[in-house]
């Protein structure tokens, strides 16, 4: 029986990688250890910061290290690859061209998920890093699905979103989700958004720890984990539906 191995480009960031692995396990319908998805994880926190490079290309380029990790995973036996970092998908086309195995796309899969929930013509809020927003890559995938993207204000981005990512989660420090939830609620209520994407895997860490998760939030990392499980189950001849949590 074919048992495809999932390769994970980790360390971008490290805590998000651990949460991603946990999500894959929690979303897998398993009755015993052997029913779970085999994973090879290269947790490489030395990959240069993606946002820093997108905003200033004189900074270290993450692409060579991303390609090195993908190659290592392939050589180690990965049959398909996931990158639990939204900002890293700025480099997706180059990675997919170089890879010898399929590389799942967190942005494309999330756009598809949101489209299924709200339908074409919907308005979608995007909570993400400055790099992801500046690159416009996520917005392009949503636009191709007939969705309009709404982002936080510059002040919300500078005072709430980025500090939560870089000053709390990436530093392994305690965090408070209150500000982020307030921004998400404003995007829904004042921005007219039908859904709000948690589009940074550090923010996914925050989302996954919420006691109550607003039903209009869509966690991109959770979507990616579900697609990884679906691919595994389909290859095993089982139901290809891994429902989101």
Listed by start position, the domains of the chain span 6-106+222-235, 107-220
Q: In which element (H, E) is residue 80 found?
A: strand 80-82
Rounded-to-integer distance, Cα 117 and Cα 140, Å: 18
Strands (E), 116-202: 123-127, 148-150, 195-198
How much is the pLDDT for 1?
Answer: 47
Rounded-to-integer distance, Cα 171 and Cα 161, Å: 15
Q: Which are the contacts of 177, defined by CB distance < 8 A and separation ≥ 6?
A: 206, 207, 209, 210
Which among 200, 225, 226, 242 is annotated as catalytic? Answer: 200
Which among 23, 73, 85, 115 is annotated as catalytic? Answer: 85
Q: How far is CA 231 from CA 95, 112, 214, in A?
A: 20, 16, 27
pTM summary value:
0.95
Rounded-to-integer distance, Cα 161 and Cα 129, Å: 7
Mean pLDDT of the chain: 96
How much is the pLDDT for 3?
Answer: 83
The two domains 6-106+222-235 and 107-220 share their CATH topology (first three levels equal)? yes
Divide the 245 residues of the chain into consecutive groups of 10 and give the mean pLDDT of each group.
Answer: 88 95 96 96 97 97 98 98 97 98 98 97 98 97 97 98 97 96 98 98 96 97 97 84 63
Fold topology of 6-106+222-235: Rossmann fold (3.40.50)
Q: Is 193 among the catalytic positions?
A: no
**Percent of the chain's residues with pLDDT above 90:** 95
Q: Is 85 among the catalytic positions?
A: yes
Q: Per-residue pLDDT tens for 79-109?
A: 999 999 999 999 999 999 999 999 999 999 9
Is domain 107-220 annotated with CATH 3.40.640.10? no
């Amino acid at each position: 029986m074919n048992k495809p191995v999932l390769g994970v480009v980790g360390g971008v960031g490290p805590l998000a990688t651990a949460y991603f692995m946990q999500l894959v396990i929690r979303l897998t319908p398993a009755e015993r250890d052997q029913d779970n998805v085999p994973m090879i994880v290269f947790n490489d926190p030395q990959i240069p910061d993606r946002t820093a490079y997108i905003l200033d290309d004189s900074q270290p380029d993450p692409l060579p290290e991303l390609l090195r990790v993908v190659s290592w995973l392939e050589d180690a036996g990965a049959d398909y690859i996931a990158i639990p970092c939204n900002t890293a998908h700025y480099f997706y086309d180059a990675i997919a061209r170089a890879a010898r195995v399929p590389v799942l796309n967190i942005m494309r899969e999330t756009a598809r998920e949101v489209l299924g929930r709200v339908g074409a013509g919907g308005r979608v809020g995007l909570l993400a890093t400055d790099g992801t927003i500046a690159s416009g890559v996520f917005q392009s995938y949503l636009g191709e699905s007939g969705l309009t993207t709404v982002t936080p204000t510059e002040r919300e981005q500078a005072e709430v979103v980025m500090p939560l990512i870089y000053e709390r989660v990436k530093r392994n420090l305690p965090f408070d989700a209150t500000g982020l939830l307030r921004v998400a609620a404003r995007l829904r209520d004042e921005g007219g958004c039908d859904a709000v994407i948690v589009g940074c895997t550090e923010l996914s860490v925050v989302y996954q720890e919420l006691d109550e998760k607003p039903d209009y939030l869509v966690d991109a990392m959770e979507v990616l984990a579900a697609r990884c499980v679906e691919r595994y189950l389909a290859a095993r001849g089982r139901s290809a539906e891994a429902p989101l949590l």
